[in-house]
Structure 1
């Protein structure tokens, strides 16, 4: 899918950050910015494209009502600001989209909702139904009750996961920087990177610049989200929020990340990027080769150690002999019954226990690729 194909996409996920929705002082929502987002998204709806909007801004919106001038550092005050600001944020979106005859549906998620499989599937069904009914889902992290997840990457990672959940044709990440550059955007010799066809093209590219004072992300989280999405078969555009209309129209703005892999099953993406593991299994070299190069199931004969407490069906990490994470999968045995089976062949398992099954079946296993982008 090319950048130009955005104009005819069936379904798009659009994410916008806090800094792009607040006024110049960072002390409150900019109603003009919210209206601009609604106008552009409504235009895509009118053209027949379904849009899921992942929007930050709840904490930023709650600063002014609480008499705060900067984003609080302590968790309790962040949660209070989110509680006050979320209603204001949705009220702004409700008014802005109502002008186009569209209804907003608020969806609040925490990382737990994409970590636990049942909640993940429930969210998928709910979003599909909302889109079928012609709603505009506005998704935000549930910062009021989140703990560590409140620093989830400024919703960028969440947006990438949502894009796969709803089977989007593309992901658009809007920020206050107009594109990814070869160096820091303020340097005279930095040049806009128009297209990233493969992750290796980012070797040596500076992506560590910090986000604004009201947000939590920066270009690093945008690139990481783009790698997650493109690795799942979803092309991604990173562009400036002020360019939302030309971005959604497929014009040459921002940086376009081409999809690098076929779209995996939802379970595999969940395992790779969302699942919270309950333990780990250390493998020998033969087992590592079998699950990576051979694409086989993990058998007990190749497991040399077990860590953590988990039940059958729980996500676990699979480690190389040096301790590096090479894959994730759903355990076929619990942590209590697995140790007595370590290193045993299938024949011995059948003889000793009456049956044998894979420690992790290949259909429940995903090999993890290492991070490919680097910063200077």
Structure 2
């Protein structure tokens, strides 16, 4: 067994994410039998002494059948209505299922603000910590009933990776209707399962698509992105089928494992790199990219070739290389209106009150390509 799988098998705190397709069907709504099977696997791991936070999709899917809706709606108002009905059904089902083992569940509904805004982030940390200390199993979902952009563009895979870092998890397990990452569409045949992703080169040339069920917002692309986010932050990750949950939560000998970075990313750098919203872009030349990413230096005006967006000093911005790839994120020290007169100029040629870094090294988070 590989080191990353041993770490997942021995983790004392895990985030487990389950997708809509693993819990619901378009015609019948919530599948209680599938949910019970998932809970059985989670409880098995809890009884081994592991604290688990369960990130569960399925609220919208669970609300379709009670509202006589045959397929996932496209308009926001109907999605929110379905979430309103389904969230209640989903929470009740989890309470009943965990109740078979005398375990208490706590519902935690989050929006992106709760992990993007640092004050909210710390409050969420305290809530999770207390729930776990009291022996409860937190069940997390996006607050789809009131969310707007989150429903259209967000997904619970990303939420799960953010929660994993927020609670100090030692592993992230992503469960869905797909059993692993493949080098092509597994439905077409002749494809190879990728057992382990050790570096970005293992993902080169892969085409990953969306969910085939039509019920979820994510797909393999969002799962790979979430696993990469966790791994880059020092958290091992696993993509597996919900049907193999007992093994995934046991010896982790199934699915695709993602090797984690050697050191865990600090809370501030993780927030900068993956949680905070970006307000614009700074375009860098090759020398600046080498300094910022390779040598972890501050970004100076001389290395900036252009700016996009509408930001003020103190906002988070993306730093992009000449090929337009985002290589880092950071807190900018200037308003967008100030930078055009400064870009490309040496620090010594600037007025004394503007001889500061565009983005200081302490406020930078380099990102993997």
TM over 0.5: yes
Aligned residues of 1:299 and 1:358 also touching (Cα < 8 A): yes
Does structure 1 residue 141 correspond to structure 2 residue 146? no
Residue 60 of structure 2 corresponds to residue 59 of structure 1: yes
Partner deviation per Cα, 1:108-130 (whole Å, 9 max, x = no partner): 11223222232223222322222
* Residue equivalent to 1:21: 23
Normalized against structure 1, the TM-score is what? Answer: 0.89
Correspondence 1:32-111 to 2 at 5 A? 32-111=33-112
Describe the SS at the equivalent of 2:65.
helix
Residue 365 of structure 1 aligns with which residue?
364
Taking the aligned partners of 1:188 and 1:325, their CA distance within structure 2 comes to 34
Deviations 1:130-152 (A, max 9, x none): 22222211110111122221144
1:278 and 1:182, CA in 2 relative to 1: closer, same or farther beyond 3 A? closer
Q: In 2 relative to 1, CA 295–246 (structure 1 residues): closer, same or farther, beyond 3 Å?
A: same
Question: How far is 1:54 from its partner?
Answer: 0.4
Specify whether residues 2 and 79 from structure 1 end up closer, same or farther in structure 2 by C-alpha distance, changes over 3 A only: same
**Range with greater deviation from structure 2 (212-221 or 58-67):** 212-221
Q: Within 5 Å, which residues of 2 pair with 1:160-239? A: 160-208=161-209, 210-239=211-240
Task: Report whether the alignment pairs 1:289 with 2:290.
Answer: yes
Flag the 1:206–1:306 CA change in 2: closer, same or farther, 3 A. Answer: closer
Q: CA deviation at 1:156?
A: 0.9
Determine the structure 2 residue equivalent to 1:373: none
CA displacement 1:222-266 (0-9 Å, x = unmatched): 222111111222111111111111211114222222224532112
Question: In structure 2, the residue corresponding to 1:318 is in which secondary structure?
Answer: strand
Report if the CA contact (8 A) 1:230-1:261 is conserved: no
| 1:9/1:365 CA distance change after superposition, 3 Å | same
Question: How high is the TM-score relative to the length of structure 2?
Answer: 0.91
Deviation at 1:172, TM superposition (A): 0.6
User: What is the rounded CA distance, in whole Å, between the counterparts of 1:55 and 1:118 in structure 2?
Assistant: 24
Q: 1:10 aligns with which of 12, 20, 36?
A: 12
Label 1:296 to 1:185 Cα distance change in 2 as closer, same or farther (>3 A).
Answer: same
Superposition CA RMSD, Å: 2.3
Cα distance change on mapping 1:333 and 1:153 into 2, 3 Å: closer
Checking the alignment, whether the CA contact within 8 Å between 2:54 and 2:138 is kept in structure 1 is yes
* Structure 2: segments with no counterpart, 5+ residues: none
Take 1:127 and 1:238, find their aligned partners in 2: how far apart are those partners? 24
Contact 1:20 1:175 in 2 (8 A): yes
Distance 1:96 1:210 in 2: 26
Long gaps (5+) in structure 1: 371-376
Ranges of 4+ aligned residues in structure 1 off by more than 6 Å: none
Corresponding residue number in structure 1 for 2:250: 249
Shift in Å, 1:32? 1.4
- C-alpha contact (below 8 Å) 1:17/1:154 kept by paired residues: no
The CA distance in 2 between the partners of 1:210 and 1:146, in whole Å, is: 21
Q: How many pairs does the alignment contain?
A: 367
SS of match in other structure, 2:257: strand
